[in-house]
Amino acid sequence: MELSVVVTLFNEEDNVRPLLKNIQQALRPIEYEIILVDDGSTDKTVERIMENFTPELKLVRLSTNYGQTAAMAAGIAVAKGDYIATMDGDLQNDAADIPAMLLKLTKEGWDVVAGNRVNRKDGFIFRKLPSQLANALIRWLSGVSIKDYGCTLKVFRKEIAKNLGLYGELHRFIPILAVMQGGKITQVHVRHHPRLNGKSKYGMGRTLKVVSDLLLMVFFKKYLKRPIHFFGPLGLFSFLLGFGISFYLLIIKIMGQDIWGRPLLILGVTLILAGIQFLTFGVITELMMRTYYESQQKPTYTIREIIEGKETIPRLTVNS
């Protein structure tokens, strides 16, 4: 199998037929499989898939809605191709871009070719502007110069795709995860179409989640292998600041003044301890989560069934 195309779907019943037609027409010269991951759809998405089932199609049904990152990880885990392409199921990505991306990856020796939506067909205020600001912030903090982090259309070598370590909602940061593995990444201009059917699952409410994940990614990229370089200076600064405040209050106490109940004492100690505690708990908890899943090879999702050649494998859990 040369290419596996992984498509995540959540309530996209009206897009299934044109999506499959688009992929099949675009990839005729290539040996490929299509992996549709149903992320707990509550409409007739699965019915539409079964009505249009073909030999190269594989349906992966998740038991509930886990989110795009887990759905993408599930699809990549069962992919058999030497190369793996990912795309959205809302018809805004165009499968016709995949052959050129695959050719660039194989001929020029890249590990990941990412899409850059040059003529994006989304609203400016609620979609394009927040995306542009987020992309600029991610590039600045991560040092990975990809213009469009939000474009799902990407082509990978399977060795990179299957070791991305996708958890939480980290699919936005796939370029950073790939670079952390030593992968070489480039980008190409791709087409982008307006959404014709269904509702977008993205909105302004994701902004805080993106920022939180970005801070986590920056920590992973810069300090995962040497956390003391992060915690050492922070701890030393906190200790010296606390020592300075304590020494100042000790001098005042020796001079006969009462220091109990002073705002400086209460605020200083509270902020220092609370800041260090919350930050440390956040990082340690994330590392514990990754250790829990990776050491026991536990996936972050449960697959209800896999349908291949119209044969059902019930209740199968696949490790990412």
* Percent with pLDDT over 70 in the chain: 83
- 202 in a domain, yes or no? yes
Q: What is the pLDDT of residue 208?
A: 66
**Tokens (6 digits) for 181:** 């593995």
C-alpha 313/C-alpha 277 separation (Å) is: 46
Under the banding of pLDDT at 50, 70 and 90, the label for residue 316 is very low
Cα 62 from Cα 177, distance rounded (Å) = 24
Q: Same domain for 149 and 12?
A: yes
Q: Are residues 271 and 158 in the same domain?
A: no
Chain segment 156-178, per-residue pLDDT in tens? 999 999 988 887 777 888 888 88
Sheet holding 83-88, edge to edge: 185-190, 112-117, 154-157, 83-88, 3-9, 32-38, 57-62, 303-308, 311-314
**Three-state DSSP state, 155:** strand
Report d(CA 84, CA 239) in Å as an integer: 49
Q: Are residues 233 and 141 in the same domain?
A: no
> Are 289 and 164 in a shared domain?
no
My answer on whether 176 and 282 are in the same domain is no
Same domain, 27 and 80: yes
> Which among 219, 205, 215 has a CA at the least distance from the CA of 130?
205
Residue 177 makes CB contacts below 8 A (sequence gap 6+) with 164, 165, 166, 170, 217
Q: What is the amino acid identity at position 276?
A: I
Are residues 231 and 165 part of one domain?
A: no
| Residues paired with 35 in a beta bridge | 6, 58
Residue at 254 is within a domain? yes
Cα separation of 262 and 259, whole Å? 6
Q: Which domain holds residue 267?
A: 226-295
Instruction: Assign residue 136 the CATH number of its domain.
Output: 3.90.550.10
Considering the chain, what is the average pLDDT of its residues? 82
Q: What is the dihedral of CA 251, 257, 263, 266, to 10 degrees?
A: 60
Output 227 or 139, whichever has higher pLDDT. Answer: 139
Same-domain pairing of 133 and 157 = yes
For residues 262 and 150, state if they share a domain: no
**Total domains in the fold of the chain:** 2
User: Is residue 19 included in any domain, yes or no?
Assistant: yes
